[in-house]
């Protein structure tokens, strides 16, 4: 060890007598200082504008635009310049012969050189440590552990680059060749996750070998044993190759022996990497304050109850428009989407089945390949993507094992437990495409507990869940490709027919009564009354002037004002009203709190104003109401009243007429009623607009006013199901959300980091180099 340290010390002195090392220190300090100062100024600017900040630590150090991610993007340019002379200088000057003749081994030489680079890498980290200290001083409740996790990732990356550069330097006596060779190897390692990804097993080896993105999780605050071990294994591999190279020069071993040892080291490295990347052997440590890189506790609780084997089979239709997400070359990328779940159930098996059939969502295929058979169309698409069409099963062969017609032959996953339970996990027609934690956990939760059964009453002209009409509820209830549909959020949805001898099932948890046009007959009313008397939960959605619904609501002590609500606004129809959660609504559920925090509205078209008419034993609370709205970006102030005269809102402008009972005030558009029935709390939600959750009404034309009717759906059913669905994946708020720094203070820090610190390093290097030259 003493000889290794002496070699490391000598190499460090040599590095600091080189202008290149000082130049890299100066440029690195300047570049990182400028990046950090700009990020810091952005946080201060955000605070001054009144928008507020959240997760400041992640914004400064993590994420796509954080400091450490920028550092890893250009770090590969610096390290080859530092390592190119480690051994090349010895080879070109002939001093390697002195080393060979001295009582030091090849291992000591290589380890000494590498330790010197480890030391220089620590010096290179000093500016990053300074930025961390500054952040800890100015940021309230700075998340230090997550920042340290990122710094660890950067340091390990520097060590890996150093080992690679040291090996390339040992291959040639030309320093420029060594530097270029290092860049080539780094590029090759970065590209390895694209190599042979369509070959099973081989893709696992090449994907692990890739250095691209290895520090991303650590920068984001998650320390994964696979990533840490990757750096130790890769560093060891290149150090061993360097040692073997020196030994080969000393002993003049034969070509076959030398290359046999090289291949043995590489093979052992890859196999060791494969073993350490197996989920069952991987460990994790989430350093973030809110554990944002880990499944929420409720999701973890669900996963802990999934006993026995679990298999997720992905069915990929070549003719489906979404097939590209899981073709063989994309399998490892697709597996990353389930990494957090596999973390808590590592024995999960992932399978992929490739086929072709007529999809329900891709007319492009028929347009591109008209008058062709399915097999010919599949061949055409495969040729366009350079895919082997033979791996895709024809429809008849697939249907021997499973029929995906009900799923539209689209991209879909089948989740199967060892005990035979099955559930579908889909992708959705929105920008995100893939299910989030809420949807995935809902599928697993369905397998470990009874989830709500929701019945939509039919047969009276009400909104239904079959069909695609603009006033249907199919989108919100049972549309398979709509993310917020109840069927994708964990509910069992069905149509409820009370005619004849049909009774309400005992397992029914929620009944939806949506704008009935005709009254229930006496037998049907009796069945509904019995359900209510037993404490059954309800959603009652009405429209202005619907006397049938007024009769149903009266038993809860709620009625409607005559007329429909109007809220005149520029460029928006007057009968579209913007509503916000009340204080009671915010306390009711996290989803309503989300609406309030994000300054979002629930838009309603042709809504009725709800009023409490009597005390029927229910606790009745307003959860949505119109308001005199004044936005921070919109200077308009809007009044709302119950319009009784105007009908044509496209060509006419409503006016308040107090004489006929039109009242300007804050009108309630949604109420929650509850009472105790035995040991159970009965819950009822009443909406003054049945369209706000219909296929067409969820996206009201409100132009610049942001609405989020989608949030209303999970908010209602989360409350009605006592928090069971949709799964609550909310996380604690950001603790590091404030900064004690002014604009002028940020400017002073910027000038110090960009000019003062690099200037001090420049002055020190100049003095040292001049003194050395004089000597």
Other CB atoms within a 10 A radius of the CB of residue 595 amount to 24
The two structure tokens encoding residue 522? 């006496």
Average pLDDT, the chain: 90
Indicate if 590 and 646 belong to the same structural domain. yes
3-state secondary structure 393-410: ECHHHHCCCCCCHHHCCC
SS3 state of residue 510: strand
Domain-located, residue 376: yes
What is residue 250's predicted lDDT score, i.e. its pLDDT?
A: 76
Residue 294 lies in a domain: no
- What does the pLDDT look like over 501-522, one tens digit per residue? 999 999 999 999 999 999 999 9
DSSP bridge partners of 417: 310
Other beta carbons within 10 angstroms of residue 703's beta carbon come to 11
**Co-location of 683 and 766 in the same domain:** no
Q: DSSP characters for 260-285?
A: HHHHHHHHHHHHHHHHHTSGGG--EE
Q: Which of 630, 636, 634, 640 minimizes the C-alpha distance to 669? A: 640
pLDDT in tens, 108-157: 999 999 999 999 999 999 999 999 999 999 999 999 999 999 999 999 99
Contacts 24+ apart (CB under 8 A), 546-553: 546/515, 546/516, 546/517, 546/608, 548/460, 548/516, 548/517, 548/518, 548/519, 549/513, 549/515, 549/516, 551/519, 552/513, 552/516, 553/686
> How far apart are alpha carbons 497 and 457 in whole angstroms?
6
| Residue 61 predicted with pLDDT over 90 | yes
Cβ pair 26, 20 in contact under 8 A = no
In a domain, 631, yes or no: yes
Q: What is the distance between the alpha carbons of residues 726 and 741, in angstroms, rounded to a whole number?
A: 40
Q: How far is CA 682 from CA 508, 530, 536, in A?
A: 13, 13, 6
Q: Please check whether residues 28 and 64 belong to one and the same domain.
A: yes
7 phi and psi angles, rounded to 5 deg: -65, -40
Domain of 421 in residue numbering reads as 306-426
Bridge partners, residue 350, by sequence: 312
Domain match, 701 and 558 both: yes
Q: How confident is the model over 620-638, as pLDDT tens digits?
A: 999 999 975 444 344 445 6
Q: What is the CATH number of the domain that holds 602?
A: 3.40.50
State whether 315 and 280 are in the same domain: no
pLDDT over 70 (residue 663): yes
**Number of folded domains in the chain?**
3
Give me 707's structure tokens. 């609405």
Q: What is the mean pLDDT of residues 161-173?
A: 93
CA-based max dimension of the chain: 110
The residues, ordered by sequence, that sit 6+ positions from 47 with a Cβ below 8 Å of its Cβ are 53, 738, 739
> pLDDT digits over 404-454, tens only?
999 999 999 999 999 999 999 999 988 889 999 999 999 999 898 888 999
- Residues 457, 421 within the same domain: no
Pinpoint the alpha helices (H) of 472-544.
Answer: 474-477, 522-533
In tens, the pLDDT along 212-249 reads 989 999 999 999 999 999 999 999 999 999 999 988 87
pLDDT of residue 636: 46
Q: Please determine, for residue 473, whether its predicted confidence score (pLDDT) is greater than 90.
A: no
Residue 494 to residues 287, 453, 510, 511, 565: CA-CA distances in angstroms?
Answer: 44, 8, 11, 10, 32
The percent of the chain in helix, strand and coil, each rounded to the nearest 5, is 50, 15, 35
In the prediction, which pLDDT does 402 show?
94
Segment 653-670 mean pLDDT: 90
Cα 461 to Cα 464, 494, 520, 676, 691: the distances in Å are 8, 17, 11, 32, 14
pLDDT at 381 over 50: yes
Do 551 and 621 lie in a common domain? yes
Comparing CA positions, the residue from 772, 719, 690 lying closest to residue 510 is 719
The SS3 assignment for 414 reads strand
> For residue 165, what are the contacts with CB-CB under 8 A and spacing of at least 6?
79, 80, 82, 83, 84, 86, 117, 178, 179, 182
> What average pLDDT does range 5-17 have in this prediction?
87
Q: Is residue 120 part of a domain?
A: yes
In degrees and rounded to multiples of 5, residue 188 shows phi and psi of -65, -45
pLDDT at position 632: 37
> Is 235 found in the same domain as 170?
yes
Inter-helix orientation angle 225-251/255-276, to 10°: 170
Give the tens place of pLDDT for each residue, 177-200: 999 999 999 999 999 988 888 888
Rg of the Cα trace of the chain?
Answer: 33
Verify that 149 and 30 share a domain, yes or no. Answer: yes
Residue 447 lies in a domain: no
279: tokens are 């989920």
Nearest to 142 by CA among 66, 48, 59: 59
Q: State the Cα torsion 603-604-605-611 to the nearest 10°.
A: -150
User: Can you give 588-646 as a three-state secondary structure string?
Assistant: HCHHHHHHHHCCCEEEEECCCCEEECCCCCCEEEEEEEECCCCCCCCCCCCCCEEECCC
Predicted local distance difference test score (pLDDT) of residue 628: 54
Q: Tokens 């390093």 label which residue? A: 761
Q: Report pLDDT for 68.
A: 95
Residue 617 lies in a domain: yes
What letter would DSSP give residue 663? -
Contact 702, 256 (CB under 8 A): no
Q: Residue 477: how many CB atoms within 10 A of its CB?
A: 25
CB 580 within 8 A of CB 627: yes
Whether 311 and 280 map to the same domain: the answer is no
Please check the confidence at residue 722 and state whether its pLDDT lies above 80.
yes
Residue 502 shares a structural domain with residue 600: yes
pLDDT of residue 767: 84
Q: Does some domain include residue 109?
A: yes
Query: Does some domain include residue 738?
Result: no
Beta bridge partners of 43: none
C-alpha torsion sign, points 80, 81, 84, 90: negative
Place of tokens 């942001």: 706
DSSP 8-state class, residue 732: P
Of the residues 359, 391, 426, the one at which a domain ends: 426
The more confidently predicted of residues 96 and 758 is: 758
Could you tell me if 477 and 589 lie in one domain?
yes
Cis peptide before 599 (omega within 30 of 0): no
Which residue spans within 678-754 are E strands per DSSP?
Answer: 680-687
């Amino acid at each position: 060890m003493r000889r290794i340290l002496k070699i490391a010390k000598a190499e460090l002195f040599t590095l600091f007598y080189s202008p290149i090392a000082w130049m890299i220190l100066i440029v690195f300090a300047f570049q990182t200082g400028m990046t950090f100062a700009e990020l810091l100024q952005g946080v201060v600017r955000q605070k001054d504008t009144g928008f507020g900040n959240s997760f400041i630590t992640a914004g400064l150090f993590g994420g796509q635009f954080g400091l450490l991610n920028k550092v890893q993007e250009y770090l590969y340019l610096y390290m080859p310049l530092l390592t190119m002379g480690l051994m090349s200088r010895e080879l070109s000057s002939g001093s390697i012969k002195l080393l060979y003749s001295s009582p030091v081994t090849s291992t000591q030489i290589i380890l000494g050189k590498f330790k010197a680079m480890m030391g220089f890498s620590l010096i290179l980290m000093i500016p990053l440590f300074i930025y961390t200290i500054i952040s800890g001083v100015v940021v309230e409740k700075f998340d230090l552990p997550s920042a340290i996790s990122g710094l660890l990732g950067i340091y390990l990356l520097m060590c890996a680059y150093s080992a690679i550069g040291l090996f390339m330097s040992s291959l040639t006596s030309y320093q420029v060749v060594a530097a270029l060779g290092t860049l080539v190897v780094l590029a090759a390692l970065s590209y390895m996750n694209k190599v042979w990804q369509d070959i099973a097993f081989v893709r696992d080896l090449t994907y692990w070998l890739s250095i691209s993105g290895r520090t991303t999780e650590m920068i984001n605050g998650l320390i994964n044993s696979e990533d840490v071990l990757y750096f130790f294994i890769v560093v060891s591999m290149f150090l061993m190759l360097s040692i073997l190279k020196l030994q080969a020069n000393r002993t003049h071993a034969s070509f076959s022996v030398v290359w046999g040892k090289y291949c043995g080291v590489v093979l052992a490295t890859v196999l060791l990497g494969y073993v350490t990347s197996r989920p069952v052997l991987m460990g994790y440590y989430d350093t973030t304050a809110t554990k944002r890189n880990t499944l929420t506790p409720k999701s973890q609780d669900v996963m802990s109850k999934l006993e026995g084997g679990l298999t997720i089979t992905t069915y990929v239709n070549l003719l489906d428009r979404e097939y590209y997400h899981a073709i063989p070359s994309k399998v490892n990328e697709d597996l990353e989407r389930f990494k957090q779940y596999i973390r808590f159930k590592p024995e999960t098996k992932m399978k992929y089945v490739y086929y072709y059939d007529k999809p329900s969502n891709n007319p492009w295929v028929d347009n591109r390949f008209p008058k062709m058979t399915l097999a010919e169309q599949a061949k055409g698409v495969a040729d366009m993507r350079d895919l082997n069409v033979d791996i895709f099963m024809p429809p008849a062969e697939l249907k021997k094992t499973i029929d995906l017609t009900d799923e539209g032959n689209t991209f879909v996953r089948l989740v199967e437990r060892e005990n035979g339970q099955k559930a579908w996990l889909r992708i959705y027609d929105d920008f995100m495409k893939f299910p989030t934690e809420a949807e995935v956990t809902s599928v697993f939760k369905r397998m470990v507990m009874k989830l709500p059964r929701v019945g939509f009453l039919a047969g009276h002209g009400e909104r239904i869940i079959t069909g695609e009409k603009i006033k249907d509820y199919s989108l919100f209830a049972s549309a398979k490709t709509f993310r917020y549909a109840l069927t994708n959020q964990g509910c069992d949805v069905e149509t409820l027919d009370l005619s004849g001898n049909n009774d309400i099932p005992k397992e029914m948890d929620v009944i939806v009564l949506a704008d009935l046009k005709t009254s229930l007959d006496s037998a049907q009313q009796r069945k509904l009354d019995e359900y209510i008397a037993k404490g059954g939960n309800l959603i009652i959605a009405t429209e202005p002037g619907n006397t049938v619904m007024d009769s149903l609501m009266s038993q809860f002590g709620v009625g409607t004002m005559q007329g429909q609500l109007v809220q005149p606004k520029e460029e928006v129809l007057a009968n579209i009203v913007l509503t916000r959660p009340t204080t009671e609504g915010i306390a009711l559920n996290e989803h309503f709190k989300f609406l309030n925090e994000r300054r979002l509205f629930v838009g309603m078209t042709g809504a009725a104003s709800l009023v409490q008419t009597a005390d029927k034993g229910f606790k009745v609370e307003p959860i949505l109401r119109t308001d005199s709205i004044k936005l921070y970006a919109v200077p308009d102030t809007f009044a709302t009243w119950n319009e009784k005269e105007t009908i044509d809102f496209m060509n006419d402008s409503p006016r308040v007429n107090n004489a006929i009972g039109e009242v300007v005030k804050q009108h309630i558009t949604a109420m929650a009623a509850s009472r105790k029935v035995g040991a159970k709390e009965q819950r009822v939600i009443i909406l003054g607009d049945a369209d706000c959750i219909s296929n067409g009404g969820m996206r009201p034309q409100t132009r610049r006013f942001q609405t989020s009717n989608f949030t209303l759906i999970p908010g209602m059913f989360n409350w009605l199901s006592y928090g069971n669905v949709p799964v609550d994946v909310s996380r604690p708020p950001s603790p590091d959300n404030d900064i004690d720094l002014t604009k002028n203070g940020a400017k002073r820090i910027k000038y110090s980091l960009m000019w003062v610190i690099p200037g001090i390093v420049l002055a020190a290097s100049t003095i040292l180099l001049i003194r050395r030259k004089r000597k």
